[in-house]
Chain A
Amino acid sequence: MGTLLDVKDLSTYFYTDDGVVKAVDGVTYDLQEGETLALVGESGCGKSVSALSLMRLIPWPPGKTVSGEIFFDGEDILKVSEDQMRHIRGNRMTMIFQEPMTCLNPVLSIGTQMSETLELHMNMDKNEARQRSVEMLRLVGIPDAERRLVDYPHQFSGGMRQRVMIAMAMACNPRLLLADEPTTALDVTIQAQVLELVKRLSDEFGTSVILITHNLGIVARHADRVNVMYAGRIIERANAADLYREPRHPYSLGLLRSVPRLDQSRKEKLEPIEGLPPDLINLPSGCSFWPRCKYAIDKCHEETPPLMEVDKNHWAACWVAMDRRLT
């Protein structure tokens, strides 16, 4: 197993009328082959922007990746031409979204859309592309796949559309699949089906997955490693098992404690994280989390903590976590 993706000091900013939004601010991480890595965090923490930055899909203006390197299969994809990038995108690196209709074309049949991708990236002829499409649709569990090729996206239900999108994303046998909140719009029973499908296919194809979500339960079930993000930075990184056993950053701890759990006896009161997520234009000095942190010390207001190894393979960006375990 090698390293498939190596992201170094990636920053993506948005230049708005109100000021510079540092959506992703100096993020460094890696992804191993065949691994499922989760990016967890709340809305506005930069998890989606960091995925779009990998695909080089940040709209300019107002957004721009201002610094960093993204080594994908050993090549810095921030340096390749737009033409080369087009061959990587949708072929070796694909993405599925929260809302399938944002990536499916409503006026083209499913078959046409799938074949187009295959003909473009895999140099298949019409017949091969059609066969491969049927095969993929069967693989994702669309009944009557052959007949449904002529159907349009609106003729599928939400869960089925998600399956079609997964079929399209996996058709070219990608090395990396970016799944951006793939099940947030779906019902719980359909959610379970879709996530099992992503897991089965990525195992079968040996695809690495970056799973972007705010749902800590989904992460626990599907991720090998986790990056927790807050206000544009990674604030904790660990194996899923270690993170859930003992979160070291106060924010991760707070998140885990604030959700009611079906496997534990009911608490009289929930323990929320007090306060509000920060304004990305006017971030607090030092650690962005200190105004909401009950462990904060003076140093937290003054200096931004880097991601430091607090245990073996367990990293946290917190001055307090360096010295002691949180209780």
Chain B
Amino acid sequence: MSEQTTQPTQLRTDEVLLDVRNLKQYFPVTRGLLIQKKIADIKAVDDVSFFVRRGETLGLVGESGCGKTTTGRSILQLNVVTSGEILYEGVDLTKLKPSQMRPIRRKMQLIFQDPYASLNPRMSVGEIIGEPLIVHNMSRGRELRERVEEIMRIVGLNPYFASRYPHEFSGGQRQRIGIARALAVEPDFIVCDEPISALDVSIQAQIINLLEELQEEFGLTYLFIAHDLSVVRHISDRVAVMYLGKIVEIAPRAEIYDNPLHPYTKALLSAVPIPDPAIEARRERILLTGDVPSAMRPPPGCNFHTRCPIAIDYCKQALPELRDVGGNHMVACHRVGPGAL
């Protein structure tokens, strides 16, 4: 797997746009109908730290329930964060009042996975795309209509269809509507939460290309949440791998795909089938045994030890810290990297 590191855009700078520090997002589990008693916490995100540079794409991968979507929502302040800091352009969003948060919301947008559930069926496409512009007082009247038409053109929709309703569009076109809505308020940062998972194979590449073109044109920064590792490799500059609420490995793209260190990352990569029977026949698989444990009662020590092929007794006791093993490659595992057990 050789990698060309061509990065033509000058947009990617070293400036850190988003800095997430020790983010914890717990959801209480209650019992009882009238008198609700908290019996446990679901540790959806458990002490996660990472940063995103302006103009780059950070891929966030992991299996369902690992906390990747929750992380995205917590960053956008759609959850009340349990603890930790979310610094956006140096400002800690968790400390802001709702009125202070509103102008920042304009700069941070979200693209959803399901283009069927995320568009109001009773609003026309023009209304859907125009609504955020009205909410943020950005334009109105004739100007609004022109702006909506302009955005529709940018995402590859015919402005002529502005008066139509979502059900008249296919999945791929709906996703374009969702992208247009996010783009309307001229954001800097977009959380793309599995934006292509619900789309047909032949349409996925169209949307990926669109997202890349928009990034280049408007200097956007993406947090790209997905479970498809080949797509994440295509679109991301850096990649973070999550397992059961924690980041287990984070590294520049080429590094993580050519030199994965964490046993979970290795297993994930080996599980991705490659569309070539000749290669598939020769490939060795790392088949993980068992299921992902419950986030309500994560195992002690390293939470991956129950499925890990190289776990030792020490892994059951001590939590591995995310540490730098060189080349901006961070991994949380006792068994790999310099000084490994």
A-side interface residues toward B, CB under 8 Å? Answer: 42-43, 157, 159-160, 187-193, 196, 214-221, 240-241, 244-245, 254-256, 258-263, 265-274, 276-277
Q: Does B257 touch A at the CB level, under 8 Å?
A: yes
CA distance A258 to B201 in the complex (A): 8
**Seed contacts A188-B63, A221-B277, A268-B6; 5 additional CB < 8 Å A-B pairs:** A220-B274, A261-B276, A265-B1, A266-B4, A272-B203
> Which of A214, A216, A265, A268 is close to B200, meaning CB atoms less than 8 Å apart?
A214
| Residues in B1-48 with C-beta less than 8 Å from chain A | 1-4, 6
Tell me, in angstroms, the Cα distance from A261 to B272 when the chains sit together.
9
B201, A214: Cβ atoms closer than 8 Å: yes
Confirm or deny: B96 has a beta carbon within 8 angstroms of a beta carbon on chain A: no
Q: Name the distance in Å between A212's Cβ and chain B's nearest Cβ.
A: 14
Residue pair A262, B267 in contact (C-beta under 8 Å): no
For the A-B complex, the count of residue pairs with Cβ-Cβ distances under 8 Å equals 134
* Residue of chain B at shortest CB distance from A156: B291
Q: How far is the CB of A298 from chain B (nearest CB, A)?
A: 24
**Given the complex, which residues of B lie within 8 Å of A272, measured CB to CB?**
202-206, 208-209
Whether A187 and B209, one on each chain, are in contact in the complex, defined by CB atoms closer than 8 angstroms, is no
Residue from B253, B269, B292 whose CB has the most chain A CB atoms within 10 Å: B292
The distance from the CB of A144 to the nearest CB of chain B, in whole angstroms, is: 13
- Contact A255 B172, beta carbon cutoff 8 Å: no
- Chain B residues within 8 Å of chain A by Cβ, number: 47
Among B200, B208, B209, B279, contact of A43 (Cβ-Cβ < 8 Å): B200
Q: Is the interface of B mostly helix, strand, loop or mixed?
A: helix
B277: which A residues are within 8 A, CB to CB? 220-221, 240-241, 244
* B91 contacts chain A at the CB level, 8 A cutoff: no
Tell me if B329 is interfacial: C-beta within 8 Å of chain A: no
B275 near A276: Cβ-Cβ < 8 Å: no
- Judging by beta carbons under 8 Å apart, are B63 and A259 in contact? no
- Contact between B204 and A258 (Cβ–Cβ < 8 Å)? yes
Cross-chain contact B275 with A189 (CB below 8 angstroms): no
Q: A188-B271, A263-B1 are in contact. Are A271 and B205 (CB under 8 A)?
A: yes
B2 contacts which chain A residues (CB < 8 A)? Answer: 265
Q: Does B78 make an interface contact (CB < 8 A)?
A: no
Judge whether B214 is part of the interface by a CB distance below 8 angstroms.
no
Docked pose: A83 CA to B279 CA in angstroms: 46
Q: CB-CB < 8 A to B63: which residues of A? A: 187-190
Q: State the CA gap A261–B234 with chains docked (Å).
A: 9
Q: B268 on the interface (CB 8 Å rule)? A: yes
**Within the complex, which residue of B64, B272, B275, B292 is in contact with A219, where a contact is CB–CB below 8 Å?**
B275
CA gap between A188 and B2 in the complex, in Å: 23
Q: How far is the CA of A193 from the CA of B271 in the complex (A)?
A: 9
Q: Which of B247-291 contact A (CB under 8 A)?
A: 253, 257, 267-269, 271-280, 285, 287-289, 291
Would A263 and B274 count as touching, CB distance under 8 A? yes
Q: Contact flags (1/0) for B129-162 with A, using CB distance below 8 Å?
A: 0000000000000000000000000000000000
Q: Which of B80-88, B110-118, B224-232 contacts A (4 or more CB under 8 A)?
A: B224-232
Asked if B170 CB lies within 8 Å of chain A CBs, one says yes
> Do A259 and B1 touch across chains, with their CB atoms under 8 A apart?
no
**Which B residues lie within 8 Å of A256 (CB)?**
275
Is B173 in contact with chain A by the CB < 8 A criterion? yes
A198 to chain B: closest CB distance in Å? 14
B173, A193: Cβ atoms closer than 8 Å: no
A273 touches B285 (CB 8 A): no
Residue among A43, A265, A272, A273 facing the most chain B CB atoms (10 A cut-off):
A272
Interface residue from A189, A214, A260 paired with B271 (Cβ < 8 Å): A189
Instruction: Report whether A273 and B274 are in contact in the complex, using a CB–CB cutoff of 8 Å.
Output: no
CA gap between A322 and B229 in the complex, in Å: 36
Asked if residues A42 and B200 are in contact (CB atoms below 8 Å), the reply is yes
Taking the complex as formed, is B53 at the interface, i.e. its CB lies under 8 A from any CB of chain A?
Answer: no
Top-3 shortest CB links A-B = A217-B273, A272-B205, A187-B63
8 residue pairs A–B, Cβ–Cβ below 8 Å: A157-B291, A187-B292, A214-B200, A219-B275, A244-B275, A255-B202, A262-B269, A272-B204
